[in-house]
A and B are shown apart, each in its own frame.
Chain A
């Protein structure tokens, strides 16, 4: 009797370990995560418009149809990245995601406080290698550290009513991202 109980206890403990390890391993094993869905649609280190969701077709689930979107799929192994995004009339936001869809930084037009949002994205190693005088002049320069070398930058511009969608798309069309030349 006691032996049977011990076996059951062991089964529950082991079950808990299986549960936790599968939950933790799932992001590594997922093949349909956002990055994988966007990889065939977006060139690397270039800003690409993102098609809005329709009832028939959507790149990702739970996209907000009131927003125009653009994606920069980045790879920092060749150097740091510069992002320039003009602000649309209503509301614009920039969100940075890791390769595994973790939103590690987000900023909106009001928080950026200018007509264009300008950001430098680099790995912690590249940040550490920045010449010191450059870091000082960086007071008006927004530096974001990416936890990994690859990830996604997503720009979203609100169309407050459907008729303004074209304008929101045009605002995003002026956005650029690209690797900065090393100097």
Chain B
């Protein structure tokens, strides 16, 4: 009797633990080999055959095609430099310079990876269309309402994700060190 009770209890706990851990790791986006610079994190190995089982499961579950190593690297940000979560009602600035790459793009998505609708149909900037100051630096303002300069509308969505993609870059392919150069800084400027 005790044996039966014990094994039932064990199996229940095991199932709850195992499935719970799987659900947590997949929804939180846990994967190995992360490369973090400031608020930005990339998983360069996810674009190669060395992709780890967790990243593989995440990719299969959400249906995306990860950017291939040799094509580029994608950096994700979900909060600013000091850890304030991205909120569509707040204003954030992204400024500075980028690591070396032939081209880059920065795109705003909702947490599910869909573009966020807005009145000016602007969802991204490329390295070619961004307005820079005289020494090559730039500032992008992410805000719900129109701003001068490089305005990336957040459409007032509750949460958003920024993805910075570097194309034709040595990062992830050749670098083993963390000295890959600075990523743009993200600062919260206030909330409406």
Binding site for B on A (CB under 8 A): 3, 7-8, 10-19, 21-24, 26-27, 30, 32-34, 36-37, 53-56, 58, 60-67, 90-91, 93, 95-97, 100-108, 110-111, 147, 152, 154, 156, 158-161
Contacts and interface: CB of A to CB of B under 8 A. Distances in A.
Nearest to A95: B68
Contacts of A93: 68, 70-72, 167
Task: Label chain A's interface by main secondary structure.
Answer: mixed
A16 B19 CA distance: 9
Q: How large is the interface on B (under 10, 10 to 19, 20 to 34, 35 or more residues)?
A: 35 or more
Nearest to B173: A106
Interface string B1-25: 0000010011101111111011001
B124 A103 contact: no
Tell me the interface secondary structure of chain B in the complex.
mixed
A11 B64 contact: no
Given A18-B15, A66-B126, A152-B65, A158 B167 contact: yes
A60 B66 CA distance: 11
Given A11-B9, A91-B168, A103-B67, A30 B60 contact: yes
Given A22-B19, A62-B113, 9 more contacts: A7-B9, A15-B18, A16-B18, A26-B56, A34-B64, A62-B64, A93-B70, A147-B49, A160-B127
A165 to B, nearest CB: 11
A119 to B, nearest CB: 13
Nearest to B117: A55
B190 interface: no
B103 A160 contact: yes
Given A27-B56, A65-B124, A107-B70, A55 B129 contact: no
A14 B62 CA distance: 27
Contact of B61 (A10, A14, A26, A58): A26
